[in-house]
Amino acid sequence: MPSTPLAPTTGTATCSWSASTCTTTRPAVRPPSFPHRPPGNAALPSLMPSRPTQVAGTCPCGAGNNWAKEHYTEDTELMESVTDVVRKEAESCDCLQGFQLTHSLSGGTGSGMGTLLISKIREEYPDRIINTFSILPSPKVSDTVVEPYNATLSVHQLIENADETFCIDKEALYDICSRTLKLPTPTYGDLNYLVSATMSGVTKYLCFPGQLNADLRKLVVNMVPFPRLHFLMPGFAPLTSWGSQQYRALTVAELTQQMFDAKNMMAACDPHHGRYLTAAAIFRGRMPMREVDEQMFNIQDKNSSYFADWLPNNVKTAVCDIPPRGLKMSVTFTGNNTAVQELFKRVSEQFTAMFRRKAFHWYTGEGMDEMEFTEAESNVNDLVSEYQQYQDATAKEDEEYAEEEVA
């Protein structure tokens, strides 16, 4: 069975989907709008897909880091051939569960064309799950001035059209590589390894047997208590530097401890600044279920103040028997934590600073209207307010509200 190649972190929209059995899992479909390879990154995997039939079309020009150019003008013609390939692959599945898209929100292609593709898929397959692995911009690792525009316009689309969005931050990836893995000069290959390990953990239970299994829809049902609040913080364990691997025991207790550590989160925000609405732990490898249940109960009991008390049983556990290559066991963590609002606050502040000075003529030149910027900003700010509202909510307040309604 062919494996989906690593997705580059910049400039490419990658759409893949998984069915309920391993035999119907399909490789990625890649619309290659990004015309060249970023210079100086020899470790970046090739942008060419594993088989020629996956290429939906070619585009001789880049997006120029312009969301509007890809969303409205350049890729509207290419989108027709992309959706044809998507449709062909979807129809060849026995039991299609959903779609999974990997894209960056910093540049033009991943953000503009990526969100356009999501909206097209949502129109054609309204009852299927859409997961996205979205690379958000960060102030420390920035290479594009208009990142706040592209990210805000993309998040506006993701709020409405995606079922789950795994927020991955370049800054957090670099921190993991340098501080945890002790890599002196992290490459794109190192960053891609972290992303691919998380993606593999989220989807491998579709292919391999397990004692307590799950699927895309189960994950959405358990992780998303409110439709708009579907932005998740992913994490992976074990993450250990090469020098200290031989001195560190790999047990369920160790995995569980690492899993909730802020240093292992792939989003640059501290989960201790918010509260977990829901969380999911997907273990891989041979391990006793009793030990998994005990460790998960202990970690919840120890950190009960960081979990929403008005959502009982809000941690889902799944176990896949097949471990990743080179490891005896691992765990992939996804948390719906209100602290994720820090990512959107940061982007919104940068957006407001530029928008106030009307610095968006390249976008209006591609057919956008100023009102679209205002709507996107308002939608993102509303999302931040909703996260804050549920962070402050308590079970006692809900009981008082229910008593008032009865009275």
Q: Identify whether the C-beta of residue 231 lies closer than 8 Å to the C-beta of residue 340.
A: yes
pLDDT in tens, the chain (407 residues): 444 333 333 333 334 533 232 323 344 554 544 433 333 333 323 333 344 445 555 555 566 788 888 888 776 668 888 889 999 999 998 888 899 999 989 888 889 989 999 999 999 999 999 999 999 887 677 777 888 899 999 999 999 999 999 999 888 898 899 888 888 888 888 888 888 888 888 887 777 766 666 778 888 998 999 999 999 999 998 887 665 655 566 889 989 988 888 888 999 888 999 999 999 999 998 888 889 999 999 988 888 889 998 888 889 888 888 888 878 889 999 999 999 999 999 999 989 988 888 888 888 888 888 899 999 999 999 999 999 999 988 766 555 545 555 44
Q: What are the structure tokens assigned to 378, written together?
A: 């308002």
- Has residue 59 been placed in a domain? no
- Has residue 58 been placed in a domain? no
Q: What's the confidence (pLDDT) of residue 299?
A: 87
Tokens 């940068």 belong to residue: 350
Domain of 139, CATH number, reads: 3.40.50.1440
Nearest 5°: phi and psi at 163?
A: -95, -35
Q: Identify whether the C-beta of residue 369 lies closer than 8 Å to the C-beta of residue 71.
A: no
Cβ neighbors of 321 (< 8 A, separation 6 or more) are: 208, 209, 210, 211, 284, 285, 286
- State how many domains the chain has: 1
Q: CA 128, CA 121: separation in Å to the nearest integer?
A: 9
Q: What's the confidence (pLDDT) of residue 243?
A: 59
- Has residue 31 been placed in a domain? no
Q: Identify whether the C-beta of residue 274 lies closer than 8 Å to the C-beta of residue 338.
A: yes
| Omega of the bond leading into 238 within 30 degrees of 0 (cis) | yes
Q: CA 166, CA 151: separation in Å to the nearest integer?
A: 14
- Has residue 64 been placed in a domain? no
Cβ neighbors of 96 (< 8 A, separation 6 or more) are: 17, 19, 24, 90, 125, 128
Sign of CA dihedral 264, 22, 100, 37: positive
The model's pTM:
0.82
Cβ neighbors of 146 (< 8 A, separation 6 or more) are: 65, 66, 67, 354, 362
- Has residue 45 been placed in a domain? no
In single-letter form, the type of residue at position 227 comes to P
Let me know the angle formed at the C-alpha of 85 by 79 and 86, rounded to the nearest 5 degrees: 85
Q: CA 152, CA 157: separation in Å to the nearest integer?
A: 9
- Has residue 405 been placed in a domain? no
In whole angstroms, how far apart are CA 338 and each of 176, 273, 388? 22, 8, 7
Q: What's the confidence (pLDDT) of residue 48?
A: 33
- Has residue 20 been placed in a domain? no
Q: What's the confidence (pLDDT) of residue 249?
A: 66
The residue segments making up the domain with residue 101 are 97-394
Q: CA 197, CA 201: separation in Å to the nearest integer?
A: 6
In single-letter form, the type of residue at position 88 comes to K
- Has residue 56 been placed in a domain? no
Note the Cα 249 to chain centre separation in Å: 29
**3-state class (DSSP) for residue 137:** coil
Residues in the chain: 407
